[in-house]
Structure 1
């Protein structure tokens, strides 16, 4: 495929929250695009190094080769037009690439922190509903287990905290731990640790944080405020998915489901899952 064509191309993956978000953005702005889902369901996959780079299991080796030949990063979502591309995690850059108007301001930091706290507390509650024998069951259309999903929810604010401790976000986070996360006790402990460290930081160092500073991340040049906003809505999207799994797959009746007010003014996807 030539990089000189004028079509808009989207490289994305099933179950990827940023991919769903940028797809909805393109559809909402009436932007036609060629869709390239990098996840395969036939068992064919790229080598371990490529999968580690993408942060997704079951990726299509041919599409990964195509992206490499075009000089694209080995992660998704990526939007390409001709020889130029933008990381789909940053809608401002996508809008600039495609000459689309885009103007959005993040919610106040305190409001984001309050919502993130609710989301982490809700995940702890939802974890109790998950049947122990279902922890290794995969979510729809993607090789990610329920335990992986819960761990990923907690890892998002963890990555933010690591960034504030001086660790740059150089690639797709793959949290490596010396414990078996296919255990509700281990997941609960990890979640409590993340919440505790976030609270401690926010009540101390976070009070003097310059939120207008540029965050050191691989997908663009957002401010720390925008990075924290992304941490909040990204976490929220996965908690929505966990709630869906519990209700629609596991048949759990949740007494206090998520309040839609949590999503107001957050730049998150409208849908919970990709349709295709």
Structure 2
């Protein structure tokens, strides 16, 4: 019986501030799925286990010794037995929302107090405000590069440190380049492109699903940056809350 229980034991490896991590915790909890929460930054053996298994990124969901990456909510739901029936926005609507988030994030970067750039964005994770800011734009950078070159593992773009981006001017220049590339790709996308299947490091996926994830991934980090600005300056939110409608946004902000 113990072996059977171990084979069915569900564990979620995650870290604070990670968009998919927050969402999957909520997905499992709301569906009544019992799971062990393994914060790799605080768990005594969590990070070591990931490294031993050759896993480079979170979130990852284990069921016994089987595992699935957490980049696709549909994959996670199927893996743990959740009947997830949701409708996805059109590519055109997703495009409007994604570019809205990117434009808004650029505006927010301009408002970051200079002395906050290299402070932690959130106490529970060693990521600075500067790193959070450019990560918002690494996401479309990775997406467009994958479309242009066939790159399957975009973590070589989205999960690396851009130490050359040191100032707000550096961040804004990268933000503009990345946003302009995405807008150009959107302007040229065929009507049926969302139906195409694309190879990724977490399996073959519908392009519409990858595009949706890029949208709310950038959106969640823009939401985090917006909260940082609110806390630092006392300003009201800069984001029209209606833009979140139709997206699988997490309820939580950081964890």
Common fold, TM-score beyond 0.5? Answer: yes
- 1:52: which partner in 2? none
How far is the alpha carbon of 1:209 from its aligned partner?
Answer: 6.1
Hey, what's the Cα distance between the residues in 2 that align with 1:67 and 1:132? 36
How far is the alpha carbon of 1:211 from its aligned partner?
Answer: 2.0
The structure whose residues are more often strand, as a share, is 2
How far is the alpha carbon of 1:208 from its aligned partner?
Answer: 5.7
Secondary structure of the 2:62 match is strand
- 1:174: which partner in 2? 159
After superposition, the Cα gap between the structure-2 partners of 1:68 and 1:123, relative to the gap in structure 1 and judged at 3 Å, is closer
Hey, what's the Cα distance between the residues in 2 that align with 1:174 and 1:73? 13
Determine if contact 2:143/2:154 at 8 Å carries over to the other structure.
Answer: no
Hey, what's the Cα distance between the residues in 2 that align with 1:128 and 1:68? 37
Alignment of 1:212 onto 2:198: no
Determine if contact 2:120/2:126 at 8 Å carries over to the other structure.
Answer: yes
Determine if contact 1:9/1:33 at 8 Å carries over to the other structure.
Answer: yes
- 1:232: which partner in 2? 215
Deviations 1:215-241 (A, max 9, x none): 222123221111011000000000000
Deviations 1:53-80 (A, max 9, x none): xxxxxxx7832332355x4733211111
- 1:222: which partner in 2? 205
Determine if contact 1:72/1:85 at 8 Å carries over to the other structure.
Answer: no
- 2:25: which partner in 1? 23
Secondary structure of the 1:207 match is coil
- 1:262: which partner in 2? 243
The TM-score, its normalising length taken from structure 1, stands at: 0.83
Hey, what's the Cα distance between the residues in 2 that align with 1:91 and 1:218? 15
Hey, what's the Cα distance between the residues in 2 that align with 1:10 and 1:107? 28
Deviations 1:177-208 (A, max 9, x none): 5x73121111111111112112222222x136
Determine if contact 2:142/2:154 at 8 Å carries over to the other structure.
Answer: no
Hey, what's the Cα distance between the residues in 2 that align with 1:18 and 1:116? 16
Secondary structure of the 2:134 match is helix
Secondary structure of the 2:127 match is coil
After superposition, the Cα gap between the structure-2 partners of 1:67 and 1:5, relative to the gap in structure 1 and judged at 3 Å, is farther
How far is the alpha carbon of 1:95 from its aligned partner?
Answer: 1.8
Hey, what's the Cα distance between the residues in 2 that align with 1:263 and 1:176? 28
Unaligned runs of 5+ in 2: none
Q: Which residue, out of 89, 96, 106, partners 2:88?
A: 106
Alignment of 1:80 onto 2:62: yes
The structure whose residues are more often helix, as a share, is 2
Alignment of 1:161 onto 2:144: yes
- 2:186: which partner in 1? 202
Unaligned runs of 5+ in 1: 41-59
After superposition, the Cα gap between the structure-2 partners of 1:61 and 1:7, relative to the gap in structure 1 and judged at 3 Å, is closer
Determine if contact 2:131/2:161 at 8 Å carries over to the other structure.
Answer: no
Number of equivalences: 249
Hey, what's the Cα distance between the residues in 2 that align with 1:105 and 1:220? 21
How far is the alpha carbon of 1:171 from its aligned partner?
Answer: 5.5
Hey, what's the Cα distance between the residues in 2 that align with 1:233 and 1:154? 12
Determine if contact 1:84/1:97 at 8 Å carries over to the other structure.
Answer: no
Hey, what's the Cα distance between the residues in 2 that align with 1:110 and 1:202? 8
Hey, what's the Cα distance between the residues in 1 that align with 2:72 and 2:215? 15
Determine if contact 2:132/2:221 at 8 Å carries over to the other structure.
Answer: yes
